[in-house]
Amino acid sequence: MLQRFIPVVIALGTFAACGDSSAPAAPPPLELQVARVQKRDLPLSREFVGRTVGSIDAAVRARVDGTLVGMHFEEGTEVKEGQLLYEIDPAPFIANLAAAQGELAEAETSLAEAIADYRRVVPLAKIDAVSQRDLDLAVAKKGVAEGAVKAAQANVESKQIELGYCTITSPASGTIGFTKAKVGEFVGRPPNATILNTVSKLEPIDVQFNLSERDYLYFARLAADGESQKGKRDLQLILADGSISPGTGKVVKLDREIDAQSGAIQAEAAFPNPGKILRPGLFAKVRTVAEVRKDAVLVPKRAIKELQGRYFVFVVNDAGVVEQRSIEVGPLSGDQQVVELGLQGDEMIAIDGIQRLRSGMTIKPKLVNLPE
């Protein structure tokens, strides 16, 4: 009975074997974007963070103590140099001036008496009608009286100056800010504001920023080599919203020393400010071309794989075979990374799907052109 089923089993086995003779087809290679490595002259920029300030920021100060009785400007508007801004109650200073003038008159009266005595004693002394002591006393009295008049005159001038300080004028032409004191307040002593306001010249606008020691030495050496000079290098002003202010600026000031704590030196650059849109206190970045790298090798930043501080790209040959290659990177320029070592500048590299790539893989490359 068993022998009857053996041919059937063999036949079924043979049929199954014939059905498995065709293996599944291999998946097609991945289609990935590739691009030619770029090689061109590349201007490399450096940026420095700073704040805008007026090209003139003139403080308006109360130089005498008193009650503010007048404010003769509109806050946030343009004022002219010498324009009346504030008035301090002049009554106490008028009184002080009158007292000083009275003291001067008294001193002048004493001087007149001393001169009269001196003129009377001198002829008598010549004929020995008075003693030498009387002559010396007259001379001394006259000298003391003359000194008292000079002191009284100086006191009068001082009181006149103080009275003049009761009217506060603009120290410069520019935009005036919000007042730090109102009419009726006592000004001139803490805790009341001594600085009543600030007038700023907004055209041009200045930007203060810091240079590290390394950056300072770099640009200073360029200047020494004649490649650049302070005030000659063009600067761009990048605002907080990412926009670039129209026009270019120049360095106008450089501090005399490197700050020992921060290791930086402060610089100030002037920029055009059409329409006076920019105001002091704005966050800004100053950008300048630091160098032009000749025949720089450039790859898109997204084409670079980083692993434990090492950098790699995937080079693809004409047959689509992938090779993982180690590189050394240089500075970043926008979305392009400068490659210092590892590429010649004529290779084709994968620019997407790099996490799935391994050396030896074969892909279907789709060549795309990168923007310049």
Each residue of 47-97: pLDDT tens digit?
899 999 999 999 999 999 999 999 999 999 999 999 999 999 999 999 999
326 shares its domain with 360: yes
39 shares its domain with 72: no
List of residues 6+ apart from 3 with CB closer than 8 A: none
Whether 291 has a pLDDT exceeding 90, the answer reads: no
Q: What is the largest CA-CA distance in the chain?
A: 183
d(CA 337, CA 260): 34
d(CA 137, CA 144): 11
Whether 320 is covered by a domain: the verdict is: yes
Distances (CA, A) of 176 to 76, 81, 179, 198: 5, 11, 9, 6
Whether 277 is covered by a domain: the verdict is: yes
319 shares its domain with 333: yes
- Predicted confidence at residue 190, as pLDDT, reads 65
Are β-strands 250-254 and 336-341 bridged in parallel, bridged antiparallel, or unpaired? unpaired
Would you say 294 and 327 are in contact if contact means Cβ atoms under 8 Å apart? no
pTM of the prediction?
A: 0.68
CA dihedral 342, 215, 48, 225 (to 10 degrees): -100
Give residue-wise pLDDT tens across range 314-331.
999 989 999 999 999 988
Choosing from 292, 318, 340, the residue where a domain stops is 292
Whether 2 has a pLDDT exceeding 80, the answer reads: no
Choosing from 292, 316, 340, the residue where a domain stops is 292
- Predicted confidence at residue 232, as pLDDT, reads 60
- Predicted confidence at residue 290, as pLDDT, reads 81
Choosing from 237, 264, 292, the residue where a domain stops is 292
Q: What mean pLDDT is reported for the chain? A: 87
Whether 372 has a pLDDT exceeding 70, the answer reads: no
Confidence of residue 20 (pLDDT cuts 50, 70, 90): low
Whether 176 is covered by a domain: the verdict is: yes
179 shares its domain with 261: no
Would you say 117 and 142 are in contact if contact means Cβ atoms under 8 Å apart? yes
Of all residues in the chain, what percent carry a pLDDT higher than 90?
60
d(CA 217, CA 214): 5
Confidence of residue 30 (pLDDT cuts 50, 70, 90): confident
Which structural domain, as residue segments, surrounds residue 316? 31-43+294-367
List of residues 6+ apart from 298 with CB closer than 8 A: 37, 38, 39, 40, 42, 333, 336, 337, 338, 339
Instruction: Identify residue 265 by its one-letter amino acid code.
Output: I
Length of the chain counted residue by residue: 372
- Predicted confidence at residue 328, as pLDDT, reads 93
Structure tokens at 126: 């010549």
Least confident of 15-24, 71-80, 262-271: 15-24
The CATH number for 70's domain is: 2.40.50.100
- Predicted confidence at residue 274, as pLDDT, reads 92
d(CA 237, CA 246): 8
Confidence of residue 228 (pLDDT cuts 50, 70, 90): very low
The CATH number for 307's domain is: 2.40.420.20
The CATH number for 219's domain is: 2.40.30.170
Whether 59 is covered by a domain: the verdict is: no
- Predicted confidence at residue 309, as pLDDT, reads 87
Number of structural domains, the chain? 4
The CATH number for 158's domain is: 1.10.287
Q: How many CB atoms lie within 10 A of CB 256?
A: 6
How many DSSP H helices and E strands does the chain contain? 4, 19
d(CA 56, CA 16): 96
